[in-house]
Amino acid sequence: MQIPTNHTSLSTTLRNRREKLTNLINFPAILWSGSPSIRNFPLNTFPFRSSSHFLYFAGLPIEDAAIRLEAGKLALFMDNPPPSNLLWHGEIPTRDRLAEIIGADAAFPMSELKSHAQNSATISVQNPTTKITQSQILNRDIFPSNKPQEIDLELTQAIISLRLSHDDTALTEIKQAAAVTVEAHKAGMAATKNAKFEANIRAAMESIIISHNMTCAYPSIVTVHGEVLHNGEYYHPLQTGDLLLADVGAETTLGWASDVTRTWPVSGKFSPTQKDIYDVVLAAHDRCISQIKPGVEYLDIHLLAAQVIAEGLVDLEILKGKPEDLVEMDAHALFFPHGVGHLLGLDVHDMEDLGDLAGYEIGRERSSRFGLGFLRLNRPLIPGMIVTIEPGFYQVPAILNDLEMQQKYQNIVNWEKLEYFSDVRGIRIEDDVLVTTKGAEILTQELPTNTDAIENLV
C-alpha cells in the first residue's frame, strides 16, 4: 500500500470528516474495509478494493481492518501481518504505524473489536465473508437486510449527507483522476489510426491510467457496439465507418473516481448521419451542463436532455410530433433509455451500494416510467456535489425490435428514416461536473467534445 507523502494533511481531513459525523449521530459506528476475495488459493486474490465508507473515514485501503468512530475519535482494529508475510509481500506498515498515519486515537488487534462493539451502527460491505463477520461481531442482522436497524439507517443518512458534497481533499483527488482520464482518452483517439481491434484502443487508454499508478474506476467500455450500454467485450475488429464508444475512467490510489465517455469515428471522419446524431447528443450535453447550479433539480436536467434529444430527432425526422408530447410519452427513451448521469465520488456510481438512499432525496422513489426508471439521481444539486452528464443515442435491438414498443410508437417513429442512420449504433458523451456555489465546473473540460476537435485528435 502506497502511503501518501502528505499524510499530515490527509489526517487533518479525516479528523474533520469524523467531527462532522459527530454532529450528526450520537452513537458509535464501526466500518469495515473488507477482505480481498480469493481467486483459487488464499494468497492468490482478486485486486483488493476497500469499502468506500471505510475509505472515507480511514483514508487508506487497509485490508481486513475496521474503524470505530465515536465522538470524533477513531480507533483502528487490525492485525499485524505475520512474519511469514515478509517473504512474499515485503514489509507492510504495522497497525501502530498506520494508526499514526491516519491520525487514529487508538489501535487494537481485531480480537478486541467484539468488546468495543456494543450498540454500534454499521453499513454492510460488499464482501460476503466480511458481511458475516459484521453480523457476528454486532450479534445481529445488518443493513441492507429485510429489517434495517434504525441506527444503521441513521448512520447511512449521516454518511450520505457528508459524502454528497466533496471536501478539498476529495476534490484534489478527483481532479487528478479526471486529468489522467482525459489523457487516456486522447491516447485512445491517437491510437485508433493504427489499431485493428477494440482491445488495441483499450490497451492504449488503460496504459495511461496504469502508468500513473492508478486503476480503472470501473470495467472500461471500448466498443464499436455502443448500443450495448455496458459492453464488456473488446474483440471486435475496427472497420471504416464504425463509431467507437469509449467509457473509461481512472481511480486514484486513495479510491477517488472519474468517469468519461467519448465517441469517435474509426476512420477519423464522422459520416454526415453520424455527425447529425452526434450533434443532437452534444446539444443535450451542453444544454444540461449550462443549467447546473445549486438548487436545480437533477430530474429537470434529465428531462432537459430528453427534451433536447426529442427536438433533435424531430428535426432529423426520426420522431414525429411535438417534442414535449414525445417526452411525456417516453418516446425519447427508445433511443436514450438511461438516466442523464449519476453521483461521482469514491465510487463511479457513488454510494450505489446503498440502493437509492443516496441518489434519491428522502421521500422520493424511482419512477416505473420507461423514460425515468433508469434515473440514478433525483435530488436538488448542492455545492460540492459531482455529477456526470452523459446523454446518449443508441439503436438497441432489444428495444427497437420489441413488438410492444413497435406497436406503441408505430406512428411516432419514422422507421424508414431511421434506416438512413444505421451507421449510428451508439453515441454517448460524458463529462464530470462539479456543482460550485455559483454554477458548475467541468472537471474534464480539457477533453474536447465537438466533432472537428475530435476528428483532429483521431
Q: Where does this chain bind ligand GLY (CB under 6 A)?
A: 218, 247, 259, 348
**Count of chain residues binding Mn ion (CB under 5 A):** 2
Nearer to Mn ion, 259 or 311 (CB): 259
- Residues 409-448, mask of contacts with Mn ion (x by CB under 5 A): ----------------------------------------
Single-letter residue type at 164? L
* Residue among 64 and 198 whose Cβ is closer to ligand GLY: 198
Q: Is 229 or 296 the residue whose CB approaches Mn ion more closely?
A: 229
* Residue closer to ligand GLY (CB basis): 33 or 378: 378
What's the closest the beta carbon of residue 27 comes to ligand GLY, in angstroms? 35
Cα 428 to Cα 281: distance, rounded to the nearest angstrom: 7
Of 319 and 340, the one with the shorter C-beta distance to ligand GLY is 340
Residues within window 248-307 making contact with Mn ion, judged by CB under 5 A: 259
CB of 456 to Mn ion, least distance (A): 25
Q: What is the spatial distance between Cα 228 and Cα 455, in angstroms, rounded to a whole number? A: 24
Q: Whole-number minimum distance, CB 388 to ligand GLY, in Å?
A: 6
Which of 17, 302 has the CB closer to ligand GLY?
302
Q: Residue 231 binds which entry of ligand GLY, Mn ion, none, with Cβ cut-offs from 5 to 8 Å by kind?
A: none
In the complex with ligand GLY, the residue whose CB is nearer, 101 or 248, is: 248
Q: How far is the CB of 426 from ligand GLY (least distance, A)?
A: 13
Q: How far is the CB of 79 from ligand GLY (least distance, A)?
A: 36
Report, in Å, the least distance between residue 444 CB and ligand GLY. Answer: 13
Among residues 95 and 338, whose Cβ is nearest to ligand GLY? Answer: 338
- C-beta of 78: minimal distance to Mn ion in Å? 33
- Indicate which of ligand GLY, Mn ion, none lies near residue 218 (CB less than 5 to 8 Å, by partner kind): ligand GLY
Question: Which region holds residue 330: left if phi is over 0, alpha if psi is between -120 and 50, else beta?
Answer: left
Site map for Mn ion, 374-413, x if CB under 5 A? --------------x-------------------------
When CB distances are held under 5 to 8 angstroms depending on the partner's kind, the choice from Mn ion, ligand GLY, none that residue 181 binds is none
CB of 252 to ligand GLY, least distance (A): 16
Give the span between the Cα atoms of 21 and 68, in whole angstroms.
Answer: 12
For 77, the grid coordinates are 482494529
Given a contact cutoff of 8 angstroms between Cβ atoms, the answer to whether 64 and 79 are in contact is yes
Q: Report the interface residues with Mn ion, using CB under 5 A.
A: 259, 388
